Amino acid sequence: MFIRETRFQRFVQAMQRADQLVATGARDDLFEQMLDLMVFATEAEAGVLSLYDKDSQTLVVQAVAGLPRGKDFRSAHGDANQGLAGAVLRRGTALFVADPGRDPRQDWICGAAAASLHVRTVLCQPLMSHGQPLGCVHVFNLPDPPADDRDEPALLSLLSSRLVNEMEKAQILAEAERRERRQRALLEIISNLTTTLDRDELLYRIMSHACELLNVEATSIWLRDPAQDDLVLHIAAGSSRKRIVAQRVPAGQGIIGHVVATGETVAVNDVRRDPRFYQHIDASSGFVTRSILCVPLKAPRIQLGDVRGIAEERIIGGAQALNPRHRSGFVPDDIALFQTLAGQAAAVIRLAQLYSEVSALSTRIIDAITGAIDLKDPYTRGHSQRVSDFSVAIAQELGLSSDEVYRVRIASKLHDVGKIRVPDRILKKRRQLTDAEFAQMRQHPEHGLEFLKENGLLELEVLRESWTALAQHHERLDGRGYPKGLRGDQISLVGRIVAVADVFDAITSHRPYQPARSADEAIAILRSLAGVELDSACVEALVRARAQGLVRTQEERGERDRLSKRRRRPTRRRSVGMAG
């Protein structure tokens, strides 16, 4: 009688604690508290709570109590259809085993517990909801009950039923939060596509999101090497990314090779059982792959021109996720999410390729235009490129953003494009220009601006705010420049930058009317004009860039034209740098 009263008191205490747990709405450690209650209520020595994964038909350990090596056991998983656990999940009721060592129904959970605990008895209780299994609880080494004593199983069953509702609520809430996190991440990824054109940065962000949302150890992107058709590791994310670098998979080999070759999505929850698994990566990196999800990277071939559309997709590589944490394998939701993220990654790669192609095309067109200028004026060959390089160096020293530096690079390279409309007889004249000829030469900044307008180039964003490099590079702070005679702050920063770069190159380059001067002489002249004709900050920025080796003269570059090797008779100089 005393024993039954004690058990009744313990039962009441357990239910009171269960009520408190429900009342507080605790979710983070629900499984641990749930298991603690069951071990307390049954006066058991230890316990294990595992959840049922219906997709892989496995049990995944979620909480451990009383086992000396419980931390090592957490997240372990195994077959849910075998042994004691399989029996209770099929029948839906608890089973008590008085001597597990001799019972043929001993399962992998009992075996794992026996590695750190002398197991004398075990009570296995299923966690059921509407006839469907959610998991099960193993409690070990209960007090020896009489053979017909049904109190312990009944107590454990009642407590399980009381708490399984909260367990369902917690799972529903966790699933809702997981879906919300995934949606937020997808929105963030989409928004990131408009904030940077850095392909690798975007791909790393996408794979990092995949690591977090799928809760896996590592993710990676593999791209085809067009030269050898191998797959080359391009981006890796996750805690183990440093261990899987500089890897290659031969064409058609491995699960990732199969995916890239066939375009199929493949999920393998135990790679040891899949003959396609390419073991060399693990062998060389020390990383241990257990489960893998591979999806192809399908990049649309975008059709450019008047008829715009998307043609058939082509596979450019594959993405893979490795080793889900706290569960045995990948589920359909994981696959759908990773396919979506891989699609974003493929779009990033394709857009980056298009951007690179367009950027290379525009650069070559600009180089062709500036080359045409050089052909018209052989004495200034390479001048546009050097002025562009010097302008970029000044802009970087001034702390301009990468976007602003890029604008400076393009606009400064085009600064003399107006010379296309200056007659050859003036550009190629080896003697002093007349006043009328010089007046025509002074119009090239305006000719350059007209050239951009007529060809619709001012509508391009890259030139929309930097066209002043063409129009103002001969303006001077004291108002003595041309073509508008602007003063001080009327001259834009881009105009001031290119003015300093232009004058420096004019002084240090060989011209028909004057020999090249040294860089030190040029810097001395620039400093004498600083604050009067030229911007002081821009002058000093060029000096600093020169000290870092970023500003090299025509002579230092080995670009001196053979025509300028002969000394030219000096003639009347109009104004320092005006002939640039």
Per-residue pLDDT of 409-454, as tens digits, reads 988 988 888 888 888 788 777 778 888 888 888 888 888 888 888 8
Starting from the edge strand earliest in sequence, which strands make up the sheet with 266-268, in order? 248-249, 231-238, 216-224, 309-324, 292-303, 266-268
- Mean predicted confidence (pLDDT) in 230-258: 80
| pLDDT category of residue 377 using cuts at 50, 70 and 90 | low
Query: Could you tell me if 324 and 215 are in contact, meaning their C-beta atoms sit under 8 angstroms apart?
Result: yes
Q: Is 216 helix (H, G, I), strand (E, B) or coil?
A: strand
Which residues have CB under 8 Å from 370's CB, separation 6+? 384, 385, 413, 414, 416, 417
Give per-residue pLDDT as tens, 283-320.
Answer: 888 888 889 999 998 876 655 554 555 445 678 889 99
As a whole number, the mean pLDDT across the chain is 80
Query: Could you tell me if 539 and 527 are in contact, meaning their C-beta atoms sit under 8 angstroms apart?
Result: yes
Same fold, 2-176 and 193-350: yes
CATH 3.30.450.40 for domain 2-176, yes or no, is: yes
Q: Which residue has the higher pLDDT, 577 or 282?
A: 282
Give per-residue pLDDT as tens, 80-90.
Answer: 998 999 999 99
| pLDDT category of residue 578 using cuts at 50, 70 and 90 | very low
For every residue of 53-102, DSSP letters joined together read ETTTTEEEEEEEES-TTHHHHTT-EEESSSHHHHHHHHH-S-EEES-GGG
Per the DSSP assignment, residues forming a β-bridge with 128 are: 133
Give per-residue pLDDT as tens, 539-556.
Answer: 999 999 999 999 999 888
Query: Could you tell me if 139 and 145 are in contact, meaning their C-beta atoms sit under 8 angstroms apart?
Result: no
* CATH architecture of the domain covering 193-350: 2-Layer Sandwich (3.30)
Q: What percent of the chain has pLDDT over 90?
A: 24
Give whichever of 198-207, 311-320, 337-346 has the largest mean pLDDT: 337-346
Starting from the edge strand earliest in sequence, which strands make up the sheet with 132-140, in order? 77-79, 58-65, 46-53, 132-140, 122-129, 95-97
Look at residues 11, 18, 9, 10 and name the one whose alpha carbon lies nearest to residue 165: 18
Tell me phi and psi for residue 323, to 5 degrees.
60, 80
Give per-residue pLDDT as tens, 3-18.
Answer: 444 566 666 676 667 6
Per the DSSP assignment, residues forming a β-bridge with 310 are: 302
Per the DSSP assignment, residues forming a β-bridge with 514 are: 511
Look at residues 68, 49, 61, 51 and name the one whose alpha carbon lies nearest to residue 119: 68
pLDDT above 60 (res 147): no
pTM for this prediction: 0.52
Query: Could you tell me if 542 and 526 are in contact, meaning their C-beta atoms sit under 8 angstroms apart?
Result: yes
- Mean predicted confidence (pLDDT) in 341-352: 79
Distance CA 34, CA 39 (A): 9
Distance CA 158, CA 38 (A): 10
| pLDDT category of residue 245 using cuts at 50, 70 and 90 | low
- Mean predicted confidence (pLDDT) in 171-175: 69
Give whichever of 322-336, 411-425, 519-533 has the largest mean pLDDT: 519-533
Which residues have CB under 8 Å from 436's CB, separation 6+? none
- Mean predicted confidence (pLDDT) in 211-234: 85
Task: Report the pLDDT value the prediction gives residue 301, as an integer from 0 to 100.
Answer: 62
Other CB atoms within 10 Å distance of the CB of residue 224:
18
Return the structure tokens found at 361.
């095309």
Q: Which residue has the higher pLDDT, 233 or 144?
A: 233
Domain parsing of the chain, residue ranges:
2-176, 193-350, 377-564
Burial class (CB within 10 angstroms; exposed 0-12, middle 13-18, buried 19+) of 565: exposed
Name the CATH superfamily, with its identifier, for domain 377-564: Hypothetical protein af1432 (1.10.3210.10)
